[in-house]
Amino acid sequence: MQKIIILDFGSQTTQLIGRRIRELDTFCEILPYNKFPQDDPDIIGVILSGSPYSVYDPEAFRVDLSQFRGRYPILGICYGAQYMSHTLGGRVEPAPSREYGRQNLTSIDLNNPLFQGFEMGSQVWMSHGDTITALPEGFKTIASTETVHYAAYQAEGEPLWGVQFHPEVFHSSQGSLLLKNFVVDICGSHQDWSAASFVETTVNELRQQLGNDRVILGLSGGVDSSVAAVLISRAIGDRLTCIFVDHGMLRKNEFTQVMEDYKVLGLNVLGIDASSKFFNDLAGVTEPEQKRKIIGRDFIEVFNAEAKKIFNSQSSNSKCRWLAQGTIYPDRIESLNITGKVIKSHHNVGGLPKEMNLQLCEPLKWLFKDEVRRVGRQLGMPEHLITRHPFPGPGLAVRILGDITPEKVHILQEADDIFIRGLREYKVKLSGDEARRVLAAGVPIQQANNSSTEEIEVSLYDQIWQAGVILLSAVRSVGVMGDERTYEHPVALRAVTSTDAMTADWAHLPYDFMARVSNDIINHVRGVNRVCYDISSKPPATIEWE
């Protein structure tokens, strides 16, 4: 499979470069700047990302360009462009003022392969403190803005380009075209990385990898584990057994609905109602970390007990050797922190009994979230499963302050259901940059008037990262209903926009929508007499209240 290597110098937009390349139906790998893979016959081009550093910082990340220069086409973005220019004999200096935000390309070499199809005046997004003030010998300027003369360059007669702007961000209006020119026309991508080809190849590989073995998979109702399950079941059918544990703190009707969905998809699922165990063990516990520990421990106990049953029922010609997980690419990308140390995040179901000696099977490990969704659609999965917001493993337990009881969960489920249904039903029209941002984030446009970026219609639900209700069960306040005085709990609504949950902003929901939800909750949910909206961003707040 042809691939583009993206060397990561620590920019916040590196993953975005990866997603844009995948949107061009081309496979790519994001690697730390100092881990260029030698001897990989599938590489067709190299991209150097931006960086929080200046090329002059003593700690700046440096790479030996000779590892790939002359072997593959190279595109340096922002720091990547400055680094190549600086290293190869040009000059980079602090810009008189930070060059940040939208600019327009006032001069473009339209004959250059990187700028094929560009329009004069095309908008680009700059974000740098340094700027190139002289190019290395034999390099030529191929685009400028009013203030940035060397906005883009090429080494003459050599497939090496640099752009000081960020083609990967949606504010660069022809950024995707620039990346297409590089990846397809210059590097020669066959563009054969698609959801359909992924499904076909992966199902074949899984058949080979798994042979006649049995596989266990923990389902959460979320998109990643569900897509992984459907994919594996396409390969090995009933030899995949899925375990879906109901800890009693899922959303209203979620367990039954998701089980129905799984049945329709032909999955072999054991739905385990373990809610009484969880509620018993959580009784009277108020400390958030302790609640989490109990839920984590109980979950492993229940999951392992079921896994052991499957393990013990294996036959001699079909052994249970695998634990499958819906790990996706962003969970595994070795991300650089500011000190240059690699932080490797890897999530895993801890505590599986050693004696089962299971190997990990992670069929989605190369996919970004939007690709997982495309694969889900390719597999014919229902849209509501595919576009579901992330939901925390401990469920509504992290949205009830204080101790947890089935009654409190019930109140919260009712309020949450009204809020989430409302978000799904409320449609908004978007155009211009807002529409482009939503489209670029891979939001499914179910009700689009047309698929262009002119004007699109999306639900509030599809516009936001995550939403939920928090029950402030430790607080009571006075209200009045009819002629009666009430003394009940407030709930807080939380809706955030985010791309990765590391940072988040509160969603600016329309007032008429909030008014309607507030009315519905107070009129229909017994035990709640006040609705607040959480307007804290992360950091310093978090998404969940706990």
Tokens 């659609």 belong to residue = 377
Query: Which is closer to ligand XMP, CB of 428 or CB of 501?
Result: 501
Among 271, 393, 402, 479, binds ligand XMP (CB under 6 A): 393
In DSSP terms, which residues pair with 459 in a beta bridge? 427
103 binds ligand XMP (CB under 6 A): no
Q: Which stretch binds ligand XMP (CB under 6 A): 227-235, 370-378, 386-394, 406-414?
A: 386-394
Tokens for 257, please give them. 């609905």
For residue 361, indicate whether it is catalytic. no
**Is 225 near ligand XMP (CB under 6 A)?**
no
**By the rule CB under 6 A, 542 interacts with ligand XMP:** yes
Interface with ligand XMP includes 544 (CB under 6 A)?
yes
Is 242 noted as a catalytic residue in this protein? no
Q: Does position 390 bind ligand XMP by CB under 6 A?
A: yes
458 binds ligand XMP (CB under 6 A): no
Per CB under 6 A, which of residues 480..519 are in contact with ligand XMP? 501
How many other CB atoms are found less than 10 A from the CB of residue 469?
27
Q: Is 422 in the site for ligand XMP (CB under 6 A)?
A: no
φ and ψ at 200, to 5 degrees? -60, -50
Adjacent-strand bridge partners of 486: 479
**Mask: binding to ligand XMP, 38-57, rule CB under 6 A, as x and -?**
--------------------
**Catalytic annotation, pick one of 128, 166, 171, 247:** 166
Q: For residues 80 and 392, which CB has a smaller minimum distance to ligand XMP in the complex?
A: 392
Which neighbouring-strand residues pair with 43? 3
CB nearer to ligand XMP: give 113 or 390.
Answer: 390
Closest CA relative to residue 224, chosen from 344, 363, 320: 363
What CA–CA distances, in Å, run from 388 to 97, 221, 332?
43, 9, 22
* Residue 389 exposed, middle or buried by CB count within 10 Å (0-12, 13-18, 19+): middle
Give min distance, CB of 75 to ligand XMP, in A. Answer: 33
Q: Which of 132, 138, 167 is nearest to 151 (CA)?
A: 132
432 in the Ramachandran plot: left (φ > 0), alpha (ψ -120 to 50) or beta?
A: left
Q: How far is the CB of 501 from ligand XMP (least distance, A)?
A: 4
Which residues have a Cβ under 8 Å from the Cβ of 385 and sit 6 or more positions away?
Answer: 223, 226, 258, 261, 376
User: Which tokens is 367 given?
Assistant: 């996919």
Q: With binding defined as CB under 6 A, does residue 325 bind ligand XMP?
A: no
Catalytic-labelled residue, pool 99, 168, 371, 414:
168
Distances (CA, A) of 452 to 432, 461, 471: 10, 21, 41
Q: Report residue 441 as tokens.
A: 């984030």
Q: Which is nearer to ligand XMP, 58 or 540 (CB)?
A: 540
Phi first, then psi, for residue 191 (nearest 5°) are: 55, 50
Site string for ligand XMP, 106-125 (x = CB under 6 A): --------------------
Q: Binding ligand XMP by CB under 6 A: which of 392, 423, 430, 518?
A: 392
168 in catalytic set: yes
Q: Quote the DSSP letter at residue 243.
A: E
Q: Confirm or reject binding of residue 394 to ligand XMP (CB under 6 A).
A: yes
Which range in 47-55, 186-194, 429-437, 537-545 contacts ligand XMP by CB under 6 A?
A: 537-545
Which residue's CB is nearer to ligand XMP, number 268 or number 275? 275
Count of residues touching ligand XMP (by CB under 6 A): 11
Among 51, 226, 413, 466, binds ligand XMP (CB under 6 A): 466
Q: Does 181 bind ligand XMP (CB under 6 A)?
A: no
Q: Does 538 bind ligand XMP (CB under 6 A)?
A: yes
CA angle 492, 498, 502 (to 5 degrees): 95
**Residue closer to ligand XMP, measured from CB, 272 or 501:** 501
What's the burial of 331, exposed, middle or buried (CB within 10 Å: 0-12/13-18/19+)? Answer: middle
Q: Does 174 bind ligand XMP (CB under 6 A)?
A: no
CA distance linking residue 271 with residue 247, whole number of Å: 11
Q: Give the bridge partners for 240, in sequence order.
A: 215
Q: Is 326 in the site for ligand XMP (CB under 6 A)?
A: no
Contact 341, 233 (CB under 8 A): no
Binding site for ligand XMP (CB under 6 A): 390, 392-394, 398, 466, 501, 538, 542-544
Which residues are known catalytic residues?
78, 166, 168
